[in-house]
Amino acid sequence: MSSRKISLNGMKSGVENSPFSPQSNFLTLKESYIISASRAEGERHEVEIDDDENIEFVFDDGTSWFGNPATLHELFPEIDLSKRSVDDVAELPFSLSGGTDSRSIKSAALKVFNVFAKKAVKQGVKELAEYLEKKLLDDQSGLYQVDAAFELNKYKSVKTDSANLLFLHGTGSSTKGSFSELHGSDLWSEMNKVYKNILAFQHETFTKSPLQNVLELVQQLPDNTVLHVISHSRGGLVGEVLARFCYDDNGFNEVGIDLLKRVGRKEDVVCIEAIKAIMSKKKIRVERFIRVACPARGTSILSKRLDFYFNVSMNLISFAGGTLAGPVVDVFKALISAILDSKNDVNILPGLEAMCPSSPFLKVLNAPDMIKGNLAVISGNANYSLSLKALVVIVSKLVFQNDNDFVVDTVSMYQGAKREKPIQYFFDEGAEVNHFSYFKNTKTRQAILTALTSRDEKLLSFKEYTSSGLDESQRGVFGFEGGAVFYDKVGGAKPIAIVLPGIMGSNLSKEGSGVWINYLKLVSGGLTDLDPIKPGIKPTSLIKTSYKKLCTYLSDEYDVVTFPFDWRLSVSESAKYLNDKIKFLLSYKQPIKIIAHSMGGVLVKEFILNHGTTWNQLNKSSGFKLLMLGTPWMGSYRIPHVFAGRDGIIKQLSTLDFAHSTEELISLFTKFPGILSLLPVRAVDRDYSKREVWLELQKSSQLVWNIPSKEVLADFAKFRKNTIDNAGSIDFTNIRYIAGKDDTTQIGYEVVKGELQFKLTGKGDQSVTWELGIPEKMKNTSSLYYSNVTHGALACDEKLFPAIKQLIQTGTTDLLSRTEPVVNDNVNRSLVQTQHEEIFETDEVSAIHKILGLPLESVKKKPSLPTLKVNVSNGDLMFSGYPVVVGHFSGDGIVSAERVADNYVKGELSIKHALGNYPGDIGSHQLLIRREQEFKGICVVGLGEVDKLSSQGLATTIEKAMIQYLLDYGKKDQLSSGQINGISVLLIGTDYGGLSVDSSIRAMLLGIQNANSKIELIKPGQINLIQHVEFIELFEDRALQCFYSLKKIMNSTADEIQIEFRSTKIKKLLGCRKRLLMESKSDWWQRLTVLSENDSVKNTINHLSFYTATNGAREEKKSFRIMRL
């Protein structure tokens, strides 16, 4: 048995006194150390860890991470670099570094290091999982009824004359574990009022698949049951399956069933047939479905690493329970230990395999066929949290690359079966958000209540889901029209520029119908039409998105010729067509320039090697230049990454194609000699013409796919030998190279204990490393240039175009650097890659960009805000529920309602006005808040000049004032428990300001909503946002007018303002007044504004203009010329 030593600074603790599971049924605490804060403190200890032992790191925030000796390397990859020699002992760091993606957390201090020995127990992963399930379910499995005290009672009967509420809990949980925090809340009270029967389905989430769960559920539900479903986490997958059968007896289409059969999912098929038989008789319906934090496309945390999932779950459950010890945590650790021994085989636990992004179950669940029914999604993203900072660092470092709630990728929460009606979602974000907090947090509770009780299809505070948050202007650009660019006309009067695309950059068609790139074909399983055995496919054009802008840019000075080629086929075949094209173009006697992107440069290399006569003629021709953009001259390790099923390209294609498995798509790619031509071909690299190399790659990928045929391998062997023997003798005089730059690029891989481990470098462009891509003879020469553009964008990033033009014209440019960028190839890149990118989106734009390697700026989803509750009060300002907002024009006196409010604050406004310290300009404001007094205070907002107030100006000044109001008075510790943060407003700007009542109300609500949004973005979860807006008016007719305007705004489906009535009646306050509707009397003075008009030539006053306000939204003007005597 092997072992390794590490050293640490700290104090050795007696295991009998340690709080970390000393009485474990499964593990024995062997050694425990309290880690010092620095080398100057504590003693140095050397700790020897055997390979079959387990270790645990406990951080200063209480986070615990349990694993085996390999976990040392995963959490602290720098640990090996601390060794100065082979015999030296690596030093355990004092803290865990956060890196660049750890959500502003730089590090987490290590507090305790434990070493565990395993007890002689016979339970394997499945047995331990079953044991843990029983403990978590409290031995209650099946359908239960939930009473008002949130106690579970065995299901007896259910009335079918009204809808029943059904809870579906999450993974490793129970009904109480997922939903008990609802008990005692307003939401729970409302649920008990609305529903006669509240049901809960207790089910096994580790050892049974969602299909098995649904089968057991429908067996217990009576005929014609109408359900309103609330699910948490994996419970959403159970709900998705149930929803599929509610409106279609078949549940899944035949294409999906065939896929399950081909990949050996016989149990899934049997379950589907059994559910189908029951549902066809029982006619169960899901009327409403509120899906909370569901891994509808899977979760990154279960991408081949079960131990990561159980570590995170253990921490979140412990965090909720307030302890890291106890029988449940003990079983979690034992289960993690067993999982590591089983090499993280996710297939052992079908309930978790269903959440793995590569699961065939998820593929058929997300099939593009539409189902009926409404779906409301509650999603979230966990931000910086002091209480979980180490967990944030770990999951960012090892698991997640994008938004998540510690367990589920946020974008996965929006996926699932496609609906005929748009999915509506409520997104929450903040330090208090995590996978187990949705039913505790006030905002998401309110959103759930809205989704359960709303009678309108459009849910207040919810938004319609539009893929990855892309701007609408980015959508629909890859349809059948306009997806191609083709230039072929040469007039003979201009130089000629030939543009060669990279791999997958040419459109392929058969008999006029697009085969690649065709989004609809991809999602319907048409990718297999690219099989080389199917004849008639021809390259027709370049893909517009990648090459249109460059071709257009060059066309002013060049006759542009695009050269599409069939990237599936051998480059030697395509080189023959390129040879013919170049011979033809040479006849024009014009300078020829070649711009070859990526694989296009490999094709040019093959042309040079195989067609020497034409190449020599071209190379000697006047003005010739060849510019390569990120060409993998000697290959790329991204190609093995694709064949291993780990690359974003293959994952995106697999996510789109619901009819074929990942293995089937990889097997298709192994038939393409063109793809193999991009493999590393140096003599020092693996020889991919050898069958044993492919067998090693296939086996270590842990996928089952067909290796290339003898014919394809023979073609590659010939290509490789030609490159090794002859590429070094090419004349590079007229060749230039632009190398791109990205954060990481595959630089190689190793097979360690049967596991495939890729290595990364910062010296590359995401697809091609500088070491392999740049020809050896061009390195450190004036022909080589560097840019900070990623591989896929090298031919479409417009900031490169001037440099490209200079290089093909003169062979040199001062717009790019000739110096290799300084890259710190630190341990996070140069050692083993632990994160695997997962793909969840299937919309056209993001999918095609991913396939083509193009960067795509997506609009980050903003947190959903609570719906503003509004009401109208009729009465005196003294009795307003909150501080009152009034407006003040520049240069105006204190009049009308502002004067009344001044009296209530004992003239403080008058004093500030007299001192010149008073609002006037748009955006200025004054707050005098008296929350504990009868009159709650006043907020004066500047309205600018009297004749220039607009709706936009009013919204801006309200927003600025409300931001200040929230910052000063909205902190959670400043409001008593349960107190609502609100504001009272007048109909500002509707009299002398000239705004209509509708415009004034809409502008003020928009300003308040914007203030809420900005505060939540900057200080998520720290400020009580404005939830209630009271409109207060002295006169009854004005209050009525205000009420009807609010009702109109609320009923407008197109309005961006989200409001609902707190009360549908006008609240009568003391001091309310009535008046005749025809009364035109105003509390305002009749205003007269006098302005001087200068003579610009004589610089003297020429006119006096008099402005007087009318009763409408206009002013009359008269001008008088000054007569000088």
pLDDT tens for residues 788-847? 999 999 999 999 999 999 999 999 999 999 999 988 765 344 334 445 678 888 878 878
pLDDT of residue 1092: 64
Query: 46-85 pLDDT, tens per residue?
Result: 999 998 899 999 998 888 999 998 888 888 877 764 454 4
**One-letter amino acid for residue 391 of the chain:** L
Of 229-238, 301-310, 403-412, minimum mean pLDDT range: 301-310
Q: Which helix (H) or strand (E) holds 1121?
A: strand 1115-1121
Mean pLDDT of 1059-1076: 89
- Amino acid making up residue 1051: N
Instruction: Give the pLDDT of residue 472.
Output: 37
Q: What is the DSSP letter of 414?
A: G
Count the neighbouring beta carbons within 10 Å of the beta carbon of residue 1030. Answer: 19
Give the confidence band of 725 by pLDDT, cuts at 50, 70, 90.
Answer: very high
Q: Is the pLDDT of residue 87 over 70?
A: no
Closest by CA to 234, choosing from 278, 188, 178, is 178
Q: What is the chain's percent helix, strand, coil content, to nearest 5?
A: 35, 20, 40
- More confidently predicted of 1116 and 1113: 1116
Label residue 748 left, alpha or beta by phi (over 0 means left) and psi (-120 to 50 means alpha): left
Per-residue pLDDT at 953 exceeds 60: yes
In 3D space, the residue among 574, 532, 530, 565 whose CA is nearest the CA of residue 547 turns out to be: 565
Query: Residue 83 in 3-state DSSP?
Result: coil
- Indicate whether 422 pLDDT > 60: yes
Find the helix or strand (DSSP H, E) in which 1018 lies. helix 997-1018
Contact of 336 with 384, CB cutoff 8 Å: no
pLDDT of residue 1083: 42
**Side chain identity at 1010, as an amino acid letter?**
N
Task: Indicate the DSSP class of residue 362.
Answer: H
The CA radius of gyration of the chain, in Å to the nearest whole number, is 35
Closest to 229 measured CA to CA, from 156, 296, 145, 168 = 168
The Cα 363–Cα 298 span in angstroms is: 10
Identify the DSSP state of 817. Answer: B
Q: Which two three-digit tokens encode residue 187?
A: 């939401």
First vs last Cα of the chain: how many Å apart? 115
Please tell me the predicted confidence (pLDDT) of residue 160. 64
Phi-psi domain of 766 (left: phi exceeds 0; alpha: psi -120 through 50; beta: other): left
Q: How far apart are CA 605 and CA 1025, in angstroms?
A: 63
| DSSP 8-state assignment for residue 862 | P
User: Which pLDDT score is estimated for 1114?
Assistant: 35
Length, in residues, of the chain: 1125
φ and ψ at 861, to 5 degrees? Answer: -65, 135
Domain ranges of the chain: 3-121, 126-305+344-464, 868-1068, 1088-1121
Query: Which residues lie across from 1042 on neighbouring strands?
Result: none
Q: Tell me what percent of the residues of the chain surpass a pLDDT of 90.
A: 59
> What superfamily in CATH does domain 868-1068 come from?
Leucine Aminopeptidase, subunit E, domain 1 (3.40.220.10)
Which pair of tokens denotes residue 304?
């081949």
d(CA 751, CA 759): 11
Mean pLDDT (whole number) for 885-892 = 93
Contact 958, 1007 (CB under 8 A): yes
Q: How far apart are CA 767 and CA 1013, in angstroms?
A: 39
CA-angle at 685, arms to 639 and 710, nearest 5°:
65
Cβ 550 vs Cβ 595: under 8 Å: yes
Q: How far apart are alpha carbons 504 and 943 in whole angstroms?
A: 58
Please state, in angstroms and as integers, the Cα–Cα distance from residue 584 to each residue in 496, 610, 614, 693, 811, following that order: 12, 17, 10, 42, 24
The amino acid present at 828, given as its one-letter code, is N
Assess whether pLDDT exceeds 70 at residue 743.
yes
**What pLDDT shows up at residue 830?**
39
Mean pLDDT of the chain, nearest integer: 87
Helix (H) or strand (E) segment spanning residue 748: strand 745-752
Question: In the prediction, which pLDDT does 467 show?
Answer: 61
Whether 858 shows a pLDDT value over 70: the answer reads no
Look at the block and give the residue holding tokens 């193009």: 854
Domain at 126-305+344-464, CATH class: alpha beta
Rounded Cα distance, 73 and 69, in Å: 8
| Confidence (pLDDT) at 1020 | 75
- Region label for 541, one of left (φ > 0), alpha (ψ between -120 and 50) or beta (otherwise): beta
**Per-residue pLDDT at 656 exceeds 80:** yes
Buried b vs exposed e over 344-358: b needs ≥16 C-beta within 10 Å?
bebebbbbbbbbbbb
Using a 10 angstrom Cβ sphere, with 0-12 exposed, 13-18 middle and 19 or more buried, the burial of residue 1018 is exposed
Lowest mean pLDDT among 419-423, 424-428, 530-534, 1119-1123: 1119-1123
Mean pLDDT to the nearest integer, 487-509:
95
Question: Whole-model pTM?
Answer: 0.80
For the segment 403-415, what is each residue's pLDDT rounded down to a tens digit?
Answer: 899 899 999 999 9
Q: Summarize pLDDT for 104-115 with one digit per residue, the tens.
A: 556 788 999 999
Express each pLDDT in 900-922 by its tens digit. Answer: 999 999 999 999 999 999 999 99
Q: What is the pLDDT of residue 1077?
A: 64
Q: How many of the other CB atoms lie within 10 Å of CB of 968? A: 11
pLDDT of 1080 strictly over 80: no
> When comparing pLDDT for 466 and 783, which is higher?
783
Note the pLDDT of residue 156: 83
Of the candidates 484, 474, 510, 308, which has an alpha carbon nearest to the alpha carbon of residue 399? 308
